[in-house]
Amino acid sequence: MNKRIVFVFALVVALLLASCAPAATPTSAPPTAAPATSVPAPTTAATATQAPPIKIGISLSLSGDFSADGMAFQQGYQLWADMVNKNGGLLGRQVQLDIVSDASSPDQVQTNYQKLITVDKVDLVFGPFSTLLTKPSSVVANRYGYALVEGAGGGPSVFTQGLNNVFDVSLPVANNLTSFVQYILSLPPAQRPTTAAYATEDDPFTQPQVDLAKQQLEAGGVKTASYQVYPAETTDFNPIGDKIIASKAQVVVVGTLLPDFTAFLQRFRQQHYNPQAFIATAGPDQGDAFTKAIGGANVAEAIMVPNGWYAGSNNPGNADMVKAYIAQYGGTPDSISSDVPEAVSVGQVVEQAVTKINSLDNAKLIAELHSGDTFNSVQGDVKFDSTGQNVAALAYLFQWQNGSLVPIFPANAAGAVQPEFPKPNWP
């Protein structure tokens, strides 16, 4: 009797879990009204449908800590696949994404890529979300001679492993805040802040950025009033926020993702602490998700965030991607997560490289990506150095103004507006 109950229960749980699992494995790419890519279609769509599809294996964080970013990456990869398939496919074959969820776990992501390569026998692999997961993934891909092109694993530690198969299409992480530093140091001496406070999660994505910004601002004469590093498992950010507040720093730089940034912002509001400039490595770039989490776009006024992309940039294919995204997923240009163009850029770069070598051979692909050629992407030019970092990427500085995230630096960026400085008091 007991065995029967346990069996029935296990069956129910298994069925429920299967029905609730957010992972889409594998997903084919239904054609949608998408724009042409930057690469001309090599064959007709009719030819493409006759050949077997090209399978691209991807592990994404569809649950766990990185699930919001993982979902956005899934949208981006799917958007690219739709664009390619609409235009006749890649090398005359349709593209099929084989996406599995790693639950934000560095262990699971290794298992996933191992399975994608050895069991699913995918032709190519694209990267997961975050430096934390890219690092172990690149080792697995390297073991089997696969190129791992990715858009969100830009932490320096990814590129010091001595691997030649990992390529990040986005701005190198450590340089993310350089545009902010340049902006602050470009202010007239009378206006320029003299003190800054820093707090960062001990994450390979956030800490290198904050550390470099601190070093550069100190060199520029901005004294460090407070510097704190906190572990990823921190849930109570109030004491950290209180130390920043007590430092009375004029500039606050936080190495955060959305949840910890929200906690800092709430604490600063509650304590009526109004720094002249407030910037985060990530969080304010999450569009609607960000403004909703902090309680409205008016709260976001003058908050800054660095990024390598924005909806209004005039990079090749960007306007079409924005249009296609809104057609497929709804929302507004401002609501598009910056994860989406990072994922699309991965697809674009691989598409151009594969087309150029006219092959899916990963050894040839790695050689092409290391060749010094410049590729186009919705994030701008992509050119890899010997370690696989994109040396052609530009860092833009953004600020929330009147409910929109707008570029403010460099001043000659498309659509750049006058920065709002100092930041007004909290509403």
Partner 1 sequence: MAQLILEAIITGILSGAVYALMASGLTLIFGVMEIINIAQGALVILGAYLSYALQDKFHIDLFMGLLLTMPVMFLLGLLIEIVLIRPLKRDRTMLSILVTFAIALIIEGVLGVFFGTNYVQLHSWYIDSTIQIGDYYLSYIYIFGFVLSLILLGLLYFLLYRTKFGFGLRASMQNRTAAELIGIDVERVSAITFGIGVALAAAGGMAYGATSAFNPASHLDLISRLLVIIILGGMGSMKGAPIASVVMLVIEDVTSVIWSPVWANTVFFALLVVILLVRPRGLFGQLESRKQ
The one among 50, 234, 314, 374 contacting partner 1 by CB under 8 A: 234
Distance CA 8, CA 13 (A): 9
**Could you tell me if 344 and 311 are in contact, meaning their C-beta atoms sit under 8 angstroms apart?**
no
- Is 231 a binder of partner 1 (CB under 8 A)? yes
**Could you tell me if 59 and 128 are in contact, meaning their C-beta atoms sit under 8 angstroms apart?**
yes
At its nearest, how many Å lie between partner 1 and the CB of residue 237? 8
At its nearest, how many Å lie between partner 1 and the CB of residue 266? 7
Helices (H) and strands (E) counted in the chain, each on its own, are 13, 12
Q: Closer to partner 1 by CB, 2 or 412: give it.
A: 2
x-marked contacts with partner 1 along 20-59 as a string, rule CB under 8 A: xxx-------------------------------------
Q: Closer to partner 1 by CB, 148 or 254: give it.
A: 254
- Is 293 a binder of partner 1 (CB under 8 A)? yes
Binding part of the chain for partner 1, among 4-12, 149-157, 359-367, 396-404 by CB under 8 A, reads 4-12
Q: Closer to partner 1 by CB, 68 or 367: give it.
A: 68
The one among 238, 274, 355, 404 contacting partner 1 by CB under 8 A: 238
- Is 240 a binder of partner 1 (CB under 8 A)? yes
x-marked contacts with partner 1 along 348-387 as a string, rule CB under 8 A: ----------------------------------------
The angle formed by the CA atoms of residues 298, 301 and 303, to the nearest 5 degrees, is 135
Binding part of the chain for partner 1, among 29-37, 135-143, 241-249, 352-360 by CB under 8 A, reads 241-249
Q: Closer to partner 1 by CB, 242 or 372: give it.
A: 242
Q: Closer to partner 1 by CB, 372 or 427: give it.
A: 427
What is the enclosing helix (H) or strand (E) of 396?
A: strand 396-401
x-marked contacts with partner 1 along 248-287 as a string, rule CB under 8 A: ----------xx--xx--x--xxxx-------------x-
**Could you tell me if 127 and 57 are in contact, meaning their C-beta atoms sit under 8 angstroms apart?**
no
List residues bridging with 407 in a β-sheet.
Answer: 398
Taking only Cα atoms into account, the Rg of the chain, rounded to an integer number of angstroms, comes to: 22
The angle formed by the CA atoms of residues 53, 59 and 61, to the nearest 5 degrees, is 135
Q: Closer to partner 1 by CB, 126 or 268: give it.
A: 268
What is the enclosing helix (H) or strand (E) of 56?
A: strand 54-60
The one among 51, 246, 363, 414 contacting partner 1 by CB under 8 A: 246
What is the enclosing helix (H) or strand (E) of 98?
A: strand 95-101
CA-nearest of 221, 149, 182, 217 to 306 is 182
- Helix 318-329 to helix 67-86 angle (10° resolution) is 110
* Strand pairing class (304-307; 396-401): antiparallel
Q: Which two tokens stand for residue 150?
A: 């990715």
The one among 75, 104, 206, 362 contacting partner 1 by CB under 8 A: 104
At its nearest, how many Å lie between partner 1 and the CB of residue 247? 10
The one among 243, 356, 370, 383 contacting partner 1 by CB under 8 A: 243
Binding part of the chain for partner 1, among 11-19, 170-178, 187-195, 315-323 by CB under 8 A, reads 11-19
Q: How far apart are the first and last CA of the chain?
A: 63
**What secondary structure, in 3-state letters, does 269-324 show?**
HHCCCCCCEEEECCCCCCCHHHHHHHCCHHHHCCCEEEECCCCCCCCCCHHHHHHH
Residue 324 has φ and ψ, to the nearest 5°, of -65, -40
CA-nearest of 152, 163, 157, 158 to 126 is 152
Q: Closer to partner 1 by CB, 159 or 273: give it.
A: 273
**CA 424 centroid distance within chain:** 29
At its nearest, how many Å lie between partner 1 and the CB of residue 33? 24
At its nearest, how many Å lie between partner 1 and the CB of residue 34? 23
Residues at the interface with partner 1 (CB under 8 A): 2, 5-6, 9, 13, 16-17, 19-22, 62-65, 67-68, 70-71, 104, 202, 228-231, 233-236, 238-240, 242-243, 246, 258-259, 262-263, 266, 269-272, 286, 289, 292-296
